[in-house]
Amino acid sequence: MSLPTITRMTIVPVAGHDSFLLNLSGGHAPWFVRCVLILEDNAGNRGVGEIPSSEGILKGLEKCRSLVEGTRLNAWKGTLNNARQLLARGGPEERGRQTFDLRVAVHVLTAIESALLDLYGQAVEMPVADLLGRMGRQRDEVEALGYLFLLGDPKKTDLPYPIAENPRDDWERLRCQEALTPEAVAELARAAHERYGFRDFKLKGGVLAGEQEADCIRAMHEIFPEARLTLDPNGAWSLEEAIRVLEPIRHILSYAEDPCGQEGSWSGRETMTEFKRRTGLRTATNMIATDFKQLQYAAIMNSVDIPLADCHFWTMQGAVMVGELCDEWGMTWGSHSNNHFDISLAMMTHVAAACPGEITAIDTHWIWQDGQRLTEQPFEIRDGKLNVPTTPGLGVTLDQGKLDEAHALYRSLDVRARNDATAMQYLIDGWTFDPKRPALVR
């Protein structure tokens, strides 16, 4: 069967609004940037992908244009492999010490892969989840966790953070306000549960002193005693501090995400192995097992129970391959997240649906961007879950007007590169990033 030919590739950098979310790298700007890739074929269909955006990523996509346009969907794997080989000529890339990824090639490949799978699925009338992995779809619902952040006070800045002028519920109101106490974090959890039905929660740590963040977990446990809770300081703590902070709350933690990292002559995998041995807590990571070679050693050393294989960092097929390895090795698959629009939400849902065996509730920032759609009908989180569509492809349709608005916002920005240190200057003059000190501990 001859499938359609790709006739056009369109690269659209976009931006959205964000709250003053705090993390080890500092504070989120009032905006975030992404890139949408659109592939059109001669049957009139459009396939889409969404990835992080940077000048390097935009140039990388442009470099691959001639390898994509004019190819048949029958050869989508060959098209992707040609792009991979071209990008590999740039040499190996490192993720970096920041909490956000700094690579180019893997993101470029993911955008092309997603759009190709979307188009191919439409051509053969199959959802992307059914095309991924060795066995396709494994589930019809994907559980998501309530991904919570400590929040800086936007009123202490002159930056254009969003204001909840007519909030429809407590979540829309609270996500725009300061939240730096256990009580405030617990209120965020309650509001997120009421709106989205979450049963699991994660707190992004690496902001306050470890004991204060542990108190936030205790406060959430008081409201939701049955919830699976986790805390992620992005490796900010020393091994001894991680043990001191988390051992007293181990009975209410489902797992610990990157509680410690590289320290002295010890690698992050070594400190995590020792942390597990001394606490008995399960661990998750998006920092010490970010490619297959690292994952191999993390598994051999028993450093990690839950690799968080974000499809934007691994590619969609790569993330599912991690899930297949987890199933074979007795591990649990999960997914990391950064700020994203609803195209990425669809991508993440299909990937999670195709991972066999045990998976944990996936991370998603969508609750912080909810209301800023790029598609006509974004996937919805109800009762803490996302339904996996049965429609062909990704199951989303671009809203051209919304895409144009997001592109216009991107074009209006004077600074587009992510730099979480900028907003921190309003809280601590002269603040600089330190991977081993929580953001507000100076």
Catalytic residues: 204, 336
Q: What does the alpha-carbon distance between residue 16 and residue 26 come to, in Å, rounded to a whole number?
A: 19
Q: What does the alpha-carbon distance between residue 206 and residue 190 come to, in Å, rounded to a whole number?
A: 22
- In angstroms, what CA-CA distances link 61 with 53, 131, 375? 10, 24, 22
Is 234 known as a binding-site position?
Answer: yes
Is 338 known as a binding-site position?
Answer: yes
Extract the tokens encoding 89.
Answer: 């000529």
Burial label, 336 (beta-carbon count in 10 A; 0-12, 13-18, 19+): buried
Is 147 known as a binding-site position?
Answer: yes
Beta strands in 331-400 (DSSP E): 381-382, 385-387
Name the one residue in this structure whose structure tokens are 């997603």. Answer: 114
Is 335 known as a binding-site position?
Answer: no
**Could you tell me which residues come within 8 angstroms of residue 273 by beta carbon, excluding any fewer than 6 positions away?**
301, 302, 303
Q: What does the alpha-carbon distance between residue 34 and residue 56 come to, in Å, rounded to a whole number?
A: 13
62 Cα distance to chain centroid: 24
**Could you tell me which residues come within 8 angstroms of residue 20 by beta carbon, excluding any fewer than 6 positions away?**
27, 28, 30, 151, 152, 153, 154, 157, 161, 178, 423
283-285, strands of its sheet edge to edge: 146-149, 200-204, 228-232, 253-257, 283-285, 306-307
C-beta of residue 284 within 8 angstroms of C-beta of residue 255: yes
Is 432 known as a binding-site position?
Answer: no
Q: What does the alpha-carbon distance between residue 82 and residue 68 come to, in Å, rounded to a whole number?
A: 9
Return phi, psi of residue 13, to 5°: -70, 140
Nearest residue to 279 via CA among 240, 307, 233: 240
Is 286 known as a binding-site position?
Answer: yes
C-beta of residue 303 within 8 angstroms of C-beta of residue 330: no
Is 340 known as a binding-site position?
Answer: no
Q: What does the alpha-carbon distance between residue 52 and residue 111 come to, in Å, rounded to a whole number?
A: 9
C-beta of residue 260 within 8 angstroms of C-beta of residue 271: yes
Is 365 known as a binding-site position?
Answer: yes
Is 337 known as a binding-site position?
Answer: yes
Crossing angle for the helix pair 316-329 and 105-124, to the nearest 10 degrees: 90
Is 118 known as a binding-site position?
Answer: no
* Residues annotated within a binding site: 28, 99, 147, 202, 232-234, 263, 286, 336-338, 365, 418
* Residues annotated within a binding site for substrate: 28, 99, 147, 202, 232-234, 286, 336-338, 365, 418
* Residues annotated within a binding site for Mg(2+): 232, 263, 286
